[in-house]
Structure 1
Amino acid sequence: MNRLCASICLFTTLAGLQIAAPLALSADERASTDAPLRIDSVLVTVIEQVEVPAREVGQLTNLRVREGMTIERGALLAQIEDSEARLLLKQAQLEYETAQLKAENDVDLRFARKSHEVANAELQRAKDSIQKYPKSISKTELDRLQLTAEKAELEIEQATEEAKTAQLEAKLKRNAEEIAALAVEKRKVVSPIDGMVVQIMTRTGEWVRPGETVMRLLKLDRLRAEGLINLSLLQERDLKDRPVVLLVNPGTKQEQKFQGKISFVSPEINAVNNQTRVWADIENPDLKLKPGMRASLIIQ
């Protein structure tokens, strides 16, 4: 009987251990979700590259950059011949200045108002004289003075309308000046990004047309590391914005580390290998990291 009880107790203990073991493993698995993930053989690519086009037709007269130069956004890269455009701009500026002076000139309006005052004063004196001396001024003369006063009032309205027209003409000339200035600016080839000139397609003296690529720029101060990760390793993790370390030549004397963060986890899963794409934006202030490099990515 004692041996039977001992056997039952031993079986119960072993069964308890067998049940407890999976629970301990599940806890380890939960803890492992906070461990760093490593993705080997990620590819470094550019995030932003631009093919800078010409915006006007003409001859390229001045090339300001060469391959390998680092430039800032808005920097002048090349110049298209703009002599005619500058002359048209100068003409538009002079026409605007003339129209502006005309719009600001109020001599006609002030003269019309003064004439109206004088005409009203003469009319009033005539009326006062008739009240004192009824036959001192004829009916014809009184009508003439009345007409002169009304004409002066209409001249004020005419001068006011002409002043409004002159202001509108000045605005039209201002608009024409801005169009001419834009034509000059469009003959400048400027950089839309901070980056490096990696390829020049058009040289000084060659003819360009709108839309033709003059040169190609790469933005290198921030690059992208692209890799694949197995879905089973994600384990309900949210990788978006997680900090990462990119290792170039890991385990060697030439090892380099770059900081960044996860910017994209693809929602698409490859049905064959059960993998998904992961992108990380990597800071590259010293431009030591190059597009095309292969590296390892450690997700914190």
Structure 2
Amino acid sequence: MNATSTIPVLFTIVSLCLQQPLIAADDKSTDSSELQIDSVLVSLIEEVEVPAREVGQLNTIKVKEGMTVEKGAVLAQIEDSEAMLLLQQAKLEYEMAQLKATNDVDLRFARKAYEVANAELQRAEDSIKKYPKSISKTELDRLKLTAEKSELEIEQASEERKTTQLEASLKRNAEQIANLAVQRRKVVSPIKGMVVQIMIRDGEWVRPGDTVLRILRLDRLRAEGLINASRLQEQDLMNHPVTLIVNPGTKQVMEFQGKISFVSPEINPVNNQTRVWAEIENPDLKLKPGMRASLIIK
């Protein structure tokens, strides 16, 4: 074969090579059932700057940097002597109102008085039937008025009891408000995590909104990367299990398990890539925010 005849053959081979699809640098496939993203960034899911909710002097910081705290744990205490006294007063007032609301002596006395007055009126009417002039009309009118008055006193006692019950409810509400004022002077952790920074120290003055501590959740982290959108056309990756590999190919390799929690609906028109992230379980806290790793999607 001469040199002239080989030129078309070489041109054809080059053209076929150029037509082969390019593999994106960010994702590969180890087999037909896996997708691999070579470069993902580990980041935080939850990071909280815990604020003071009331004004006052910070009496006690109960934690140190590096300590792991549970959700709802008291981290610091703002001076609460006045709030405690107001709470005690509110409790006593509620107890007094509750005793008054449950006291039905007046109602029972009114009912008994009505029974007596009604019985006396009935005897007088029976006597008149037998002996028409035995009781004067004035006396009969007085007995009727007494019976009616006793009946109205029952109604009055019932209404007064309703009022005392409402007053007890108001005192109960006042006690709850006073208790809330005490609770708001406690700086409480809204999440389970690690204290990484303390902004205010014992004895310093705080105002509502001032950041007292900073807490990071480290037992579950996010691994975020980019994947070619063409790999997702026929796949729904949501909740798929994943394996995160840190330091692949070295003696310090570590593996963590998780699942896909988000696939962005947006596609970059320049490189045809979309964002994907997974939530990774990190019970031993060996995985750190800021690490780079590989992600294998099952």
TM-score of the superposed pair, with normalisation by structure 2: 0.87
Corresponding residue of 1:223: 221
Pair 1:83 & 2:62 matched: no
Pair 1:130 & 2:123 matched: no
State the Cα deviation string for residues 168-225 of structure 1 (Å, max 9, x = none). 1111111111111111111111111111111111111111111111111111111011
Give the Cα–Cα distance (whole angstroms) in 2 for the partners of residues 41 and 274 of structure 1.
17
Contact 1:239 1:265 in 2 (8 A): yes
Pair 1:298 & 2:293 matched: no
Give the Cα–Cα distance (whole angstroms) in 2 for the partners of residues 117 and 256 of structure 1.
88
Corresponding residue of 2:234: 236
Corresponding residue of 2:45: 47
Summarize the Cα distance change of 1:162–1:235 in structure 2 as closer, same or farther, 3 Å threshold: closer
Corresponding residue of 2:24: none
Give the Cα–Cα distance (whole angstroms) in 2 for the partners of residues 97 and 76 of structure 1.
29
Corresponding residue of 2:165: 167
Extract unaligned runs of 5+ from structure 2: 1-19, 21-28
1:198-277 counterparts in 2 under 5 A?
198-234=196-232, 236-277=234-275
Contact 2:30 2:36 in 1 (8 A): no
Contact 1:43 1:227 in 2 (8 A): yes
Summarize the Cα distance change of 1:235–1:97 in structure 2 as closer, same or farther, 3 Å threshold: closer
Corresponding residue of 2:150: 152
Per the alignment, in what secondary structure is the counterpart of residue 165 of structure 1? helix
TM-score of the superposed pair, with normalisation by structure 1: 0.86
Q: Which has the larger share of helix?
A: 1
Contact 1:46 1:291 in 2 (8 A): yes
Per the alignment, in what secondary structure is the counterpart of residue 203 of structure 2? coil
Corresponding residue of 2:55: 57
Corresponding residue of 2:9: none
Give the Å deviation of 1:78: 0.6
Summarize the Cα distance change of 1:123–1:268 in structure 2 as closer, same or farther, 3 Å threshold: same
Identity %: 78
Give the Å deviation of 1:230: 2.4
Give the Cα–Cα distance (whole angstroms) in 1 for the partners of residues 290 and 284 of structure 2.
17
State the Cα deviation string for residues 231-281 of structure 1 (Å, max 9, x = none). 344453332222211111111111111111121121222222222211111
Q: Which has the larger radius of gyration?
A: 1
Extract unaligned runs of 5+ from structure 1: 1-24, 26-30
Moved more, 259-268 or 41-50: 259-268
Corresponding residue of 1:289: 287
Contact 1:33 1:235 in 2 (8 A): no
Summarize the Cα distance change of 1:238–1:149 in structure 2 as closer, same or farther, 3 Å threshold: closer
Contact 2:58 2:76 in 1 (8 A): yes
Moved more, 107-116 or 137-146: 137-146
Contact 1:33 1:237 in 2 (8 A): no
Per the alignment, in what secondary structure is the counterpart of residue 286 of structure 2? coil
Corresponding residue of 2:7: none
Q: Runs of 4 or more off by more than 4 Å in structure 1?
A: none
Q: How well do the aligned residues superpose, as a CA RMSD in angstroms?
A: 1.7
